[in-house]
């Protein structure tokens, strides 16, 4: 097995092997030996193409050792695939990068495939520490003339992200949305978005509340169904 491991490592760092062969080798290493061997022996020397392969495989681990080279690469050259993966990792840098890009073009990225769509990835954000970045992104989205996609739109992705954050920080998220709504002045679209999101997280929170039944109430319910 050690010989197989060394062969797979050699394939991964080789400049002569095809991409699909490298992908097979790294998937084998991860399945048999775990992600640590990838972080320690492969990641430090990969190129941009292979970095996305590793990102696809390990982004759910949200390991800083993976996030750091992905951010470094994104600073060098725009790569929507890496951007999407970083957003899924709840990277503050990635959300700020995305917000700046949307602000500059006054619209979202137009993608034919969800594989590389960072807008859809916004919906996966669940870290409430990114709430300030999400609120800022909402302000950009509802600026006059900002173009959104009809499918995998930023509107719905923001609602999903804020709803995710509200599962652990309901009061904080709701308070920020109320403040955003009150400060929206005559921006009816932004006001409507805030109202819709507040309604969504209110319903979500109500459904998650577990009632504490007394012993007498439990007995009464049981007697009523027997």
Q: What is the pLDDT of residues 80-135, one digit of tens each?
A: 999 999 999 999 999 999 999 999 999 998 755 555 689 999 999 999 999 999 99
Which phi and psi (to 5°) does residue 219 adopt? -60, -40
109 to each of 12, 85, 145, how far by Cα in Å? 32, 15, 15
- Would residue 63 count as lying in a domain? no
- Would residue 198 count as lying in a domain? yes
- Would residue 187 count as lying in a domain? yes
Which phi and psi (to 5°) does residue 147 adopt? -95, 130
Poorest-pLDDT segment among 44-53, 73-82, 125-134, 152-161: 44-53
Q: Is the pLDDT of residue 161 over 70?
A: yes
Q: What is the DSSP string of 10-57?
A: HHHH-SSS-HHHHHHHHHHHHHHH-THHHHHHTGGG--HHHHHHHHHH
pLDDT band for 151, please (50, 70, 90 cuts): confident
Poorest-pLDDT segment among 26-30, 178-182, 206-210: 206-210
Q: Is the pLDDT of residue 153 over 60?
A: yes
Q: What pLDDT score was predicted for residue 132?
A: 97
Q: 107: which strand partners?
A: 147
Residue-range definition of the domain harbouring residue 154: 120-226
- Would residue 175 count as lying in a domain? yes
Q: What pLDDT score was predicted for residue 133?
A: 98
Q: How many domains does the chain have?
A: 1
- Would residue 28 count as lying in a domain? no
- Would residue 128 count as lying in a domain? yes
- Would residue 61 count as lying in a domain? no
- Would residue 12 count as lying in a domain? no
Q: Region 168-176: what's the mean pLDDT?
A: 96
**Rounded Cα gap, residues 59 and 182, in angstroms:** 37
Whole-prediction pTM: 0.86
pLDDT band for 218, please (50, 70, 90 cuts): low
Query: What whole-number percentage of the chain has pLDDT above 90?
Result: 70
Q: Region 53-79: what's the mean pLDDT?
A: 94
Of the candidates 41, 17, 18, which has an alpha carbon nearest to the alpha carbon of residue 29? Answer: 41
Q: What pLDDT score was predicted for residue 178?
A: 96
Q: Region 45-69: what's the mean pLDDT?
A: 91
């Amino acid at each position: 097995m050690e010989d197989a491991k060394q062969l797979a490592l050699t394939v991964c760092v080789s400049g002569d092997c095809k991409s699909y062969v490298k992908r097979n080798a790294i998937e084998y290493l991860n399945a048999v030996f775990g992600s640590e061997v990838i972080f320690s022996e492969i990641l430090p020397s990969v190129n941009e193409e292979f970095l996305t392969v590793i990102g696809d495989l390990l982004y759910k681990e949200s390991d800083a050792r993976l996030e750091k080279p992905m951010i470094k690469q994104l600073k060098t050259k725009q790569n929507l695939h890496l951007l999407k993966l970083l957003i899924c990792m709840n990277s503050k840098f990635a959300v700020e990068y995305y917000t700046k890009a949307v602000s500059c073009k006054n619209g979202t990225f137009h993608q034919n495939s969800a594989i590389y769509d960072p807008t859809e990835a916004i919906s996966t954000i669940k870290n409430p520490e990114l709430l300030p970045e999400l609120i800022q992104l909402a302000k950009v989205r509802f600026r006059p003339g900002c173009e959104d996609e009809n499918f995998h739109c930023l509107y719905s992705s923001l609602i999903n992200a804020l709803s995710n954050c509200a599962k652990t920080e309901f009061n904080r998220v709701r308070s920020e949305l109320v403040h955003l709504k009150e400060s929206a002045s005559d921006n009816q679209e932004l006001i409507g978005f805030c109202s819709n999101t507040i309604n969504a997280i209110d319903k979500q929170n109500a459904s998650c509340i577990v009632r504490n039944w007394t012993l007498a109430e439990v007995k009464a319910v049981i007697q009523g169904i027997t």
